Structure 1
C-alpha cells in the first residue's frame, strides 16, 4: 500500500459521511425560485458542497446559482477540469431502500445518485482533498465543477462558459470505463399522427411514468369507454434492450383489439410493427452502424393524446459517422401518410482523437488499478462532454454494468466505489503533474 491507498482506507468513513449528506438532498429539478434557477433543492445541494469545498481550503465560486467549482493549485486560465453534476432524476417507485439517502446492504450502496452522479463527483472532490492533505502540490490548477442541470438539458454549462474559460483538458465521471473518446448523436423526435375528430374524442389521456430518460414500464388508457393497460420493465433509454417497453406492448394490444377499419388501429399497428422489440432501427430502415460506435439505437419514450390525434416521442442515438439528416430522411420515408416528424431535441455526436497524452495517462491508471483492457471506447449516453470543450467521459461504471443509473434501487458496490475514488485520485494527480 502506498500513501494514496492508505489515505483512502484511513478516511473511508469520513468520505461516506460526506456522501451521505449530499445524497440526502432530493435535488430533482423543480420550478425556478429566486436565486434557485433549477429549484430550491438543486440550489441547496450546491450550497452544501460549496461550503464543504471552502472548509477543505479550496477556492470556490458559484455562477448564476446554477453551477459552481472548487479550484486548487496555481493561478492560471489553463486548468484541468473535472465536471460532474449534483442534480438527480426523480426517485420513481418500488425502492427497497430510502431513495434519498445512502444505504448499505451486503457490500452494496443504494440511493438515487450513488452512480449518477453524486457518488463519482464527490469521489473526485474527496480525492482532491486527500491529495492536499498528503502534501501534494499540483503544477497545474485543477477545478472540480459541480453542475445542477445535467439531467434536464445541461443549460448550466452555458452559464459557466459565459463567465469562465473552458478547461484545457478534463473528464466527466458520468459514463463508463475505460476512457470514452466518442459519444453518439442524439435526436428526439415527436411523431404526430392525425386522427379523425370522432376517433380522437374516444381517447382519454394516457397515464403512466413517461420521460425521455427511461423505457416506460406501465401505461394505461381508456378508449371508447374500454380500459387498456400494459406492463413492461423499466430500463435506461440508452439501453432499451434491457427493458420491456410499455408503449409498444400497449400498441400491440390495441392493434389486435381495436376496429381494423379505423385510422387509430392503423397508427397503433404501425407503432407496434415498427418499434416493438426492434431497438436498432430494423423496423423502419434505420439499421445503421459503424466501427467506432456500433448500431443505431432507438427508444419510444412518451405516448400522448394530442390536439389532432396522437403524439409519440422517440429517442434516436445514431453512430458518430452518420449525419442526423440521414436519420430523419429515412424516418420520414417510413412514416404513415399524413403523419409528420417534429425535432424536439438534438445533440450532435462527438469524437476525439484516441492518441493524446492525457488519454494515455487516464488509460494507464485505469489498467494499473483494474487490470482491465484500457482501449478507449464510445458510448450511447449523452454527457457534459457534448457541451464543455476539451472534456471526455471517464467512468464510473465498469464493463458489463448497464441499466443501473435511472432505475429503482440505484446502486454501486462498495468495492467499485472505493476503486473509483482511487482511480480519480490518481488521475487528478497525474493530470496536474
Structure 2
C-alpha cells in the first residue's frame, strides 16, 4: 500500500482515538502539583504521548506544560519541521445536542469541544505521521508534533516549552484555516473600567472568556425601574426576591470573528440605556461599543490592505462596586502598533473609560513567497484541485510564537463555523480530508 492507502486503513483507529481524546474535559483549571493547568489537561497530554509512543515516535513531556512526539531524521543535526497544536479547550455552555465531552458520532459528525479546535486536527496530524512512518518514509527533517495545554488562555504552555526546548526551524499550526494563513492580526485583550452605572442596575453579567462571544447576558435591576422601554427589545423579564432579572440571548462564536455570532450583551446594553437615558456609561457602551465590530461607531475604523479591518468584541461583563467592567477582545491590523490602538480607543471614549490591563500578542506576517508558504499552498492546491492564495485572519495561533510558522487548516473555505460554538463538531469526511492534506504536507516539507 502507498501512504494514502495506509492512512485510509487507519480511519477507524483515528476516529476512536479522537473520541477518547475529546472525552478529556481539558478546560484549564487551577494548578495542582506538577499539573500547571489542572489534572484533565495533564491526563490528556499523557494519553496522547503514550499513543504516539505506541506508534514508534519518541515522546517528551515538558513538565505537563506541553509535550512533543518526534518522527526523527537519521541526521541528528537535521532541521526540525514542527506542528504546533493544543489539547486545551474553551468552556462550554448549555444547549448541546450531544455531550460536549462525549465524542459522540451523529450523522457522520464527531461532536465535542475541541473537535475542530484543536484536538481533531492534531489527531489527524498524528495519524498522518503514523501513515508516513508505516510507508517507510525517511524524513530529511525531523517531524515534531507539539501539543500545548494552555493555548486558549495566554499560551503559557509554549512560552514555558520554549525555555526548555529549541523551537522548530519552520512549522505549521493546524489551528486556523485552509489554504494557508500567513497573516495574523495583533491581539489586544483588554480589561476595561468603563465607569459608574446607575444604582438602579444591581448587577450585570455575561461571558467567561475574553475571546468568546457570549450567548447569554443577565442583569438585575431595581423593581422601581420603569421597564416600558423594554417593549422595543428582545429581553426576557423575570421577578426574583423583589428584584427584576433581565436576560438577553445571542449566538456564541470565536472572538476573532465576532461578525459570525450574535453578542448577547448588545441587546442588554441597548435595553438598559433606553430605560436609563441619563446614564452616560450605558449610553456610551450601547452607542459606541454595540453598534458594529469594526470601530466605525466608536471612531477608530482602522484598516490596512494586508490584514483588513480591526475588530472588537465584548467577551466578559461584570459590575464591581457600581463600576462597569468589560473584557474586550481586539484584533488590530498588522501595520498598526498596539499603542496607537489604545490611544485611538481612549480618545473616542468617555472620560471615565480606563484600560486597566492589557495582554498583547504582536501581529504575524510571513512572506507569501517564502518556501514554507509556497510549499504548503502547492500541496493544498494539488489535493483540492484549486488555485487558492494565502489569507489573513484575526485569530491567534501558535504561529506567532516563532518566526517561520503559519496556520494551515483545519477549517475549509465555505464550511460552517463551529469553533468555540455550541455543538462544535468535525465531520468524518473532513477529518480524513485534512489528514490527507497533512500527510502530503509532511512528506513535502520533511522529504
Query: Is the TM value for this pair above 0.5?
Result: yes
Structure 2 residue 217 is matched with structure 1 residue 219: yes
RMSD: 1.7
- In the TM superposition, residue 383 of structure 1 has moved relative to its aligned partner by 0.4
| Separation (CA, whole Å) in 1 of partners of 2:196 and 2:98 | 44
Residue pair 2:203, 2:221 contacting (<8 A) in 1 also: no
C-alpha distance 126-5 of structure 1, shift in aligned 2 (>3 A) = same
1:229 — aligned with what?
247
2:142 — aligned with what?
141
Partner SS, residue 76 of structure 1: coil
1:119 — aligned with what?
120
Partner SS, residue 203 of structure 2: coil
Moved more, 416-425 or 97-106: 97-106
Return the match for 2:427 from 400, 408, 413.
413
Return the match for 1:381 from 387, 391, 395.
395
C-alpha distance 248-12 of structure 1, shift in aligned 2 (>3 A) = same
| Separation (CA, whole Å) in 1 of partners of 2:77 and 2:291 | 52
Residue pair 2:207, 2:315 contacting (<8 A) in 1 also: no
- In the TM superposition, residue 150 of structure 1 has moved relative to its aligned partner by 0.6
Structure 2 residue 374 is matched with structure 1 residue 360: yes
- In the TM superposition, residue 257 of structure 1 has moved relative to its aligned partner by 0.9
| Separation (CA, whole Å) in 2 of partners of 1:366 and 1:375 | 10
Give me the TM-score of the superposition, normalised by structure 1.
0.94
Structure 2 residue 173 is matched with structure 1 residue 172: yes
Return the match for 1:369 from 383, 391, 396.
383
Partner SS, residue 152 of structure 2: helix
- In the TM superposition, residue 307 of structure 1 has moved relative to its aligned partner by 3.1
| Separation (CA, whole Å) in 1 of partners of 2:315 and 2:352 | 22
| Separation (CA, whole Å) in 1 of partners of 2:288 and 2:390 | 33
2:271 — aligned with what?
253
Structure 2 residue 105 is matched with structure 1 residue 104: yes
Residue pair 1:215, 1:237 contacting (<8 A) in 2 also: yes
- In the TM superposition, residue 232 of structure 1 has moved relative to its aligned partner by 1.8
1:32 — aligned with what?
31
Deviation >6 Å, runs of 4+: none
- In the TM superposition, residue 22 of structure 1 has moved relative to its aligned partner by 1.1
Residue pair 1:236, 1:403 contacting (<8 A) in 2 also: no
1:184 — aligned with what?
185
Instruction: For residues 172-193 of structure 1, give each alpha carbon's deviation from its aligned partner in whole angstroms, at most 9, with x where no partner exists.
Output: 1000011111100111223323
Instruction: For residues 235-291 of structure 1, give each alpha carbon's deviation from its aligned partner in whole angstroms, at most 9, with x where no partner exists.
Output: 221111122211121110011112x34xxx221111111122411110111211111
C-alpha distance 22-117 of structure 1, shift in aligned 2 (>3 A) = same
- In the TM superposition, residue 143 of structure 1 has moved relative to its aligned partner by 0.6
Partner SS, residue 414 of structure 2: coil
- In the TM superposition, residue 77 of structure 1 has moved relative to its aligned partner by 6.0
Return the match for 2:260 from 222, 226, 242.
242
1:315 — aligned with what?
329
1:46 — aligned with what?
45
Partner SS, residue 438 of structure 2: helix
